[in-house]
Amino acid sequence: MCGLTGVLNIFPARRVEETDIQQMVGMLHHRGPDGTGIYIDEYIGLGHARLSIIDLEGGKQPIHNEDSTVWVVFNGEIFNYVELRENLIQKGHIFYTHTDTEVIVHLYEEYGDEFVQHLNGQFAIALWDKNPRKLILVRDRIGILPLFYARKEGQLLFASEVKAILPLWESSPELNPHALDQLMTFWSPVSPETVFKGVYEVSPGELIVIENGQISKKRYWDWSFPQNNSYRAGTESQLAAELHDLLVDATQIRLRSDVPVGAYLSGGLDSSVLVSIIHHYSNAPLRTFSIGFEDDAYDEGNYQNLLIEHLGTEHSRIQCKNHQISEAFLNTIWHTESPILRTAPVPMRLLSGLVHEKDYKVVLTGEGSDEVLGGYDIFKEGKIRQFWARNAESSFRPLLLKKLYPYLDLTKGHAYLKNFFGIELDKPESPFFAHFPRWNTTAKIKEFLSGGIKSQLRNDALETMEKSLPAAINQWHSFNKAQYIEAKSLMAGYLLCSQGDRMLMANSVEGRFPFLDHRVIEFANSIHPKFKMKALNEKYLLKKAFQKYLPGEIVKRYKQPYRAPDIPVFFGGNTPAFVNELLDKQKLRDYGYFEASKVERLIKKIQAGRAIGYKENMALIGILSTQVWHYHFIENYRRNYSQ
């Protein structure tokens, strides 16, 4: 991966200054420490910070076509570039590099705006066609790679990260209160909103064209599911074999690289499957990396060791201490560019630091398997709640939740379950049905918002999310509805961003995601949900397809979602100075996002050891990270960005 930047003069008033592009590129050095490149003409300036992975010597960007009329800066990987290149050469195109980037310019020459349909990859692309003076901004189907844009007096500014846009911003940034409201429900804003007022993201699967002063948007791909039970035919064994072959190929092409490729190994099913594929279906050395925690409740070391011994991988592990998380939190928000609700991104940044330390630039990860193949508890909850909703007054049906959470205290009985899991039982057809309990819990954080912020909120977060949904969603199976919502909210907006790309690129490491190959997704979306979750057995078809390669303990283990400690990190011993400073009553009033008195009561509750629930943990991290965000991007704006 790399970093891209640019300035387009929509109504050219002056030539783009090279110093402007240099300043923008300089903000992305962590994404591309191996070199920079700039292209400028009378209408546009393009900049690139390179992390060299393919064609180490010849792949410097921007890349152009034969007559230098089409120029590209690109962040990501085109995994099928070998096949595309051969086909384009047969059609008469002449290449001057061996990089995957050059495939993009020739595909555009051959197919126009439809070039993106031919790409299998993860990408953010800015393509400039000089003759019609047309700029294309496009982002991969799933939203693995980020791309942002903003308007400024006849100009369009765009970059891989918002911090690269800010040097050319006209004034101090402002927080977008609607985006904060959405984040404190869904864990991320509803695309294309960002927490920066006036800055937008190119949405996953979206292509934006700027030509003749006009901006047009096109959704070229989206998650889609069958209607009217028109699912893919095939027996269980046939579908498992098809999934097996697709995942093997998706993994093999993601091993294409001119530098060594490693893999994250969590000890769970997904990363174990990928490492097993590498072992059985490639000649790549098995180099794996993992996180451990001092608290056994979060640590998966026993399962990691099981697979390490089973396959004989060369392994490195970072043992993450609480004080390391608190010390790294401040700078982590600099990279997320967004508030977060849990500390989980911080250890992921420490893990990518270990990868970098071991001289690796690329890792494969199992991210996306739960969304694509039905692995989350929220999908199990949805199934049970659908059954419960058919007889909402039943005292027996909600007790099925005990199968999911045997550790929960259910002695409080039906009233307790009704209050948490029974919310909105009268709306089983809603696309949000499976998510209502979680969102309701998360939204309690908004009790801490100040009156000033609340007064600025015009639209309800759920209404905004609903407007973003495809019309066909109401015709899908309830399980598929839940999959779509999870993929478009938590996964794209948080897991692949704050916990994914930003934590990897903070240490100049590229992550690759075989489960998010669009062919795998389209196959999984076409099969009946019963193959994804058989009764309450999650990722059933994945287990059937790969169980022969794995120890039985990993296949049969109860899913343990990746988590990290929250409150104990900051109040389990010595509280870091920045926490006391940014949660000070006067600082809270100065920033204006939260009611200082309510935050003070929360902190006292924490200090008394009475804050042990999800709400308190999310509230603390959400409030603190928002304060840190303001500290970085607003309070210190003039020092960091002003010219």
pLDDT at residue 246, rounded to an integer: 98
226 to 69, 149, 524, 527, 538: CA distances (angstroms): 42, 34, 11, 8, 20
- What's the CATH code of the domain at 355? 3.40.50.620
Residue 274 lies in a domain: yes
| Percent with pLDDT over 70 in the chain | 97
203 is written with which tokens? 């949405």
Residue 612 lies in a domain: yes
pLDDT at residue 398, rounded to an integer: 81
88 is written with which tokens? 């384009």
pLDDT in tens, 467-497: 999 999 999 999 999 999 999 999 999 999 9
Does residue 576 sit in helix, strand or coil?
Answer: coil
Cα gap 206→221, rounded to integer Å: 7
Provide the residue type at 404 as one letter. Answer: L
pLDDT of 323 higher than 50: yes
Name the residue with higher pLDDT: 459 or 576: 576
159 to 3, 6, 26, 51, 550: CA distances (angstroms): 7, 6, 12, 16, 42
pLDDT at residue 642, rounded to an integer: 57
Question: At 643, is the pLDDT very low, low, confident or very high (cuts 50, 70, 90)?
Answer: very low
Mark whether 20 and 67 lie in a shared domain.
Answer: yes
pLDDT at residue 415, rounded to an integer: 66
pLDDT in tens, 605-614: 999 888 778 8
Closest C-alpha among 378, 442, 497 to residue 185? 442
Q: Which of 556, 576, 599 is the last residue of a domain?
A: 556
Across the range 53-79, mean pLDDT stands at 93
pLDDT in tens, 337-375: 999 999 999 999 999 999 999 999 999 999 999 999 999
Residue 451 lies in a domain: no
Residue 119 lies in a domain: yes
pLDDT at residue 390, rounded to an integer: 92
Mark whether 16 and 156 lie in a shared domain.
Answer: yes
Q: How many domains is the chain partitioned into structurally?
A: 3
Mean pLDDT of the chain: 93
Mark whether 199 and 241 lie in a shared domain.
Answer: no
Mark whether 189 and 336 lie in a shared domain.
Answer: no
pLDDT in tens, 574-587: 899 999 999 999 99
Question: At 414, is the pLDDT very low, low, confident or very high (cuts 50, 70, 90)?
Answer: low
Question: At 641, is the pLDDT very low, low, confident or very high (cuts 50, 70, 90)?
Answer: low
pLDDT of 76 higher than 80: yes
Mark whether 186 and 42 lie in a shared domain.
Answer: yes
Mark whether 121 and 32 lie in a shared domain.
Answer: yes
pLDDT in tens, 197-252: 999 999 999 999 999 889 999 999 999 999 988 999 999 999 999 999 999 999 99
Across the range 310-321, mean pLDDT stands at 94
pLDDT of 412 higher than 60: no
Closest C-alpha among 214, 192, 211, 212 to residue 202? 192
The answer to whether the CB of 200 falls within 8 A of the CB of 192 is yes
pLDDT of 436 higher than 90: yes
The answer to whether the CB of 99 falls within 8 A of the CB of 58 is yes
Residue 428 lies in a domain: no
Residue 547 lies in a domain: yes
Mark whether 244 and 189 lie in a shared domain.
Answer: no
Cα gap 593→457, rounded to integer Å: 12
Q: Which of 506, 526, 556 is the last residue of a domain?
A: 556
Q: Which of 526, 556, 586 is the last residue of a domain?
A: 556
- What's the CATH code of the domain at 51? 3.60.20.10
Cα-Cα-Cα-Cα dihedral sign, residues 259, 75, 101, 49: negative
Across the range 427-433, mean pLDDT stands at 96
Residue 42 lies in a domain: yes
pLDDT at residue 78, rounded to an integer: 98
Does residue 333 sit in helix, strand or coil?
Answer: helix
Mark whether 180 and 276 lie in a shared domain.
Answer: no
Mark whether 211 and 243 lie in a shared domain.
Answer: no
Residue 23 lies in a domain: yes
Question: At 124, is the pLDDT very low, low, confident or very high (cuts 50, 70, 90)?
Answer: very high
The answer to whether the CB of 170 falls within 8 A of the CB of 177 is no
pLDDT at residue 627, rounded to an integer: 98
Mark whether 188 and 290 lie in a shared domain.
Answer: no
pLDDT at residue 410, rounded to an integer: 54
pLDDT of 300 higher than 50: yes
Mark whether 157 and 89 lie in a shared domain.
Answer: yes
Mark whether 500 and 367 lie in a shared domain.
Answer: yes
Closest C-alpha among 144, 186, 33, 164 to residue 499? 144
Q: Which residue has the tokens 């009790």?
A: 447
Question: At 560, is the pLDDT very low, low, confident or very high (cuts 50, 70, 90)?
Answer: confident
Question: At 79, is the pLDDT very low, low, confident or very high (cuts 50, 70, 90)?
Answer: very high
Domain interval for residue 368 = 236-372+488-556
